[in-house]
Structures are given as C-alpha cells and as structure tokens.
Amino acid sequence: MTLRTIKFSTFADGTDAVLHLHEIKGTKGDGPTVGISAAIHGDEPTGTRIAMEIARTYRDGGFRGRMLILPVANPIGFQKSRRHTPLDDVNLNRVFPGDPAGWYSDRLAHVITTEFLTKVEVLFDLHAGGHKPTVDYIYIRTAEDLSRAFGSPILYRAHVGLPGTVFTGTTSTVIEDRGGKVVTVELGGGLIDQEDYVRRGVVGIDNMLKTLGMVDGAPVPPPPQTVCSGITTLRFGMGGIVFNEAPPLGQRVKEGAVIGRIVSPYTFEELEVIRNPVADGVMILAHLTPNIVEPGDYAYMIGHP
C-alpha cells in the first residue's frame, strides 16, 4: 500500500491544503480499479472508519485489480465536523467536476476529479447520516448487482424526476458520465455506537469485491430486500430537542403516524409534532437519540416501497 499526499493549495495560516490518497495493487492478477471515498461531507466519519478497515484488510494486495482509497474527501469539513466546507459554506458534493479557478470547494472538487475519479472504473461512495441523524439504505444507480450485494435490506432506485434524492454535481455523476459503475452507500451516523455499521460496511464492500471477481470466494446472496422508488425528506419547522417515536430503520410506518416531537428545553412545551405523510412508507433516516435540532435540519426520511 502506498500513500500519495496531494498538495493543491495553501491556507492563510501557512498550512498546506492536501488530500491523502492510498493505492493498493492486487497481487492476484488483472481486475478493475475500484475507488472508495468517504467524508465528502465532513460530519460523516463512519465511512472513513469503513475505508480504514478495508485498507487494513487488503493492504497486502490479496485481490485482483487495484484499489484507490480516499478516506477523507473534505479534510477541513472533517476537522470541523461540518457537512459543508467551512471556508465557503458550499456542499462539496454538488459542485463536481469542479473548477480550478472557482471557490475553494470548486478547486477541491477539481483535484478529486482529476487525481481520483478519472482513475477509477467502479466507485464505492460512502455516506452516513451526519453527527445527529442515522441512515440506512443503498442507492441503485449503474450497478444493481453490486448495490444488492452490499446486503442492506432497503435500496433506493434513483430516478431523476421522481421524489427522492437524485442530485447533480456529485462524485457519482462524474463516474456515471464516464460510463463507470457507482454504489452510493448511506449507512450509520448519529450519536450512537457505530461499530455495527462499520462492520456491515466492511462485510458489504468485501461482498461487492467478490461480486466483481476481485476477491476469491462466491458472494453471499443478499437478504430479502425492499426497493424504494422515491424518498420523502422531512425537515424540522421548530428548534429544540427532538424525541423520536419512529419505528426502527428499515421497518414500515403507517401514514399519519407520529414519528417525532420537538420539545422546548426552556418551557418544556411541545412545539412540533412530526407525522409520516407517506402511505405505506419505510423508515430510512431518523434521530435515534434526543438531539438538539434547529429549524431546517434534516428530520426524517421515508422511502416509498
């Protein structure tokens, strides 16, 4: 395993703006180049931990092909635990392929595109719910067999024009525009123990590598899976402390059911009741702990099976 430290600018405090990119070459013959990226949103470190474990597992090259691992795509967002890049308050995963003459986030996206995305044929893009909510589903994009092989019970078939979360200017769109394969993983996050999510991420990536023929052994068949055709995203209208009443992630939720309540920490008054607006929905993102939230924050996401 080799490490490249890619310097692309200098901050006003004199420190270098860099990316750390790991390369592992397989010792078992030819195969595709797989890219693994994490923490493009700085408050999603679960993917970074998954990438670290994958690097440790395969550091000796016991596979076919090549891996490029970008464990922290947004270093200053990661440092500050911020979803958006702190220097310009831009969502980095909306400005790809970037611009070498643009904002800091545009320049960072340009470096990621030229030094990483253009080098890979298959991208495993690791996301999480952030430092408050927890999420659990997988996108079906350009490689349904790989998305299913990850092993999550809930998948979202991304279609532009249907309700959901299909965005432009992402790392995934760069790969798709080049004819490559993409699996976008949404797994973990929140103020709970991440060990189970990290374990699931490592097992899921290992099974996708087996599906690609990069790793020896037959892939494990996926469990029963529900595919969603759309996603409804709810945001809080009031700030305060959220108390979760939603069913566990992956389970069905009835239309009109109360899934959360906002309570004032000052007056103890109930400020908002959040209900599921989706007929026969399935929970894919929720606040599993009583978190402090603000108006406009992500509240819940309900899939349309």
The overall average pLDDT reported for the chain is 96
How much is the pLDDT for 23? 98
Please check whether residues 53 and 151 belong to one and the same domain.
yes
**Token pair for 122:** 């298959």
What does the pLDDT average to over 193-212?
98
- Concatenating the DSSP letter of every residue in the chain gives -EEEEEEEEE-TTS-EEEEEEEEEE-SS---PEEEEEE-SSTT-THHHHHHHHHHHHHTT--SSSEEEEES-SSHHHHHHT-SSBTTTTB-GGGSTT--TTS-HHHHHHHHHHHHTGGG-SEEEEEE---SS-EEEEEEESS-HHHHHHT--SEEEE--TTSSS---SSSHHHHHHHTT-EEEEEEEE-SSS--HHHHHHHHHHHHHHHHHTTSSSSPPPPP---EEESEEEEEE-SS-EEEEE-PPPTTSEE-TT-EEEEEE-TTT--EEEEEE--STTEEEEEE--S--EE-TTSEEEEEEE-
Q: Is the pLDDT of residue 161 over 80?
A: no
Question: What is the tens place of the pLDDT at every residue in 184-193?
Answer: 999 999 999 9
- Concatenating the DSSP letter of every residue in 150-182 gives T--SEEEE--TTSSS---SSSHHHHHHHTT-EE
**Token pair for 185:** 């993983």
- d(CA 208, CA 210) in angstroms, rounded, equals 5
Q: Which of 226, 249, 279 is the last residue of a domain?
A: 226
The residue assigned the tokens 């008054």 is 269
Please check whether residues 63 and 212 belong to one and the same domain.
yes
How much is the pLDDT for 52? 98
Q: Which of 194, 209, 226 is the last residue of a domain?
A: 226
Question: What is the tens place of the pLDDT at every residue in 11-50?
Answer: 999 999 999 999 999 999 999 999 999 999 999 999 999 9
The CATH number of residue 288's host domain is: 2.40.50.100
Please check whether residues 157 and 70 belong to one and the same domain.
yes
Please check whether residues 48 and 18 belong to one and the same domain.
yes
Q: Is the pLDDT of residue 291 over 90?
A: yes
Question: What is the tens place of the pLDDT at every residue in 88-119?
Answer: 999 999 999 999 999 999 999 999 999 999 99
Closest CA to 299 of 271, 269, 279, 267: 271
**Token pair for 2:** 């080799």
Give me the residues paired with residue 187 across strands. 136
Please check whether residues 61 and 205 belong to one and the same domain.
yes
What does the pLDDT average to over 273-297?
97
The CATH number of residue 124's host domain is: 3.40.630.10
Give every CB contact of residue 159 below 8 A, 6+ residues apart in sequence. 166, 229, 230
What does the pLDDT average to over 193-199?
98
Question: What is the tens place of the pLDDT at every residue in 122-134?
Answer: 999 999 999 999 9
162 band by pLDDT with thresholds 50, 70 and 90: low
Q: Which of 203, 226, 249 is the last residue of a domain?
A: 226
Please check whether residues 270 and 219 belong to one and the same domain.
no
What does the pLDDT average to over 190-213?
98
How much is the pLDDT for 186? 98
What does the pLDDT average to over 59-67?
97
Please check whether residues 96 and 180 belong to one and the same domain.
yes
Please check whether residues 280 and 217 belong to one and the same domain.
no
- d(CA 197, CA 128) in angstroms, rounded, equals 10
- What proportion of the chain, given as a percentage, has pLDDT over 90? 96
Please check whether residues 248 and 217 belong to one and the same domain.
no
What is the count of structural domains for the chain?
2
How much is the pLDDT for 248? 98
What does the pLDDT average to over 68-81?
97
CA 182 distance to own-chain centroid: 12
Please check whether residues 235 and 222 belong to one and the same domain.
no
- d(CA 135, CA 137) in angstroms, rounded, equals 7
CA 7 distance to own-chain centroid: 25
- d(CA 301, CA 250) in angstroms, rounded, equals 11
How much is the pLDDT for 158? 78
Domain that holds residue 97: 2-226
**Rg, Å, the chain Cα set:** 19
Please check whether residues 297 and 272 belong to one and the same domain.
yes
Please check whether residues 74 and 104 belong to one and the same domain.
yes
167 band by pLDDT with thresholds 50, 70 and 90: confident
Q: Is the pLDDT of residue 160 over 60?
A: no
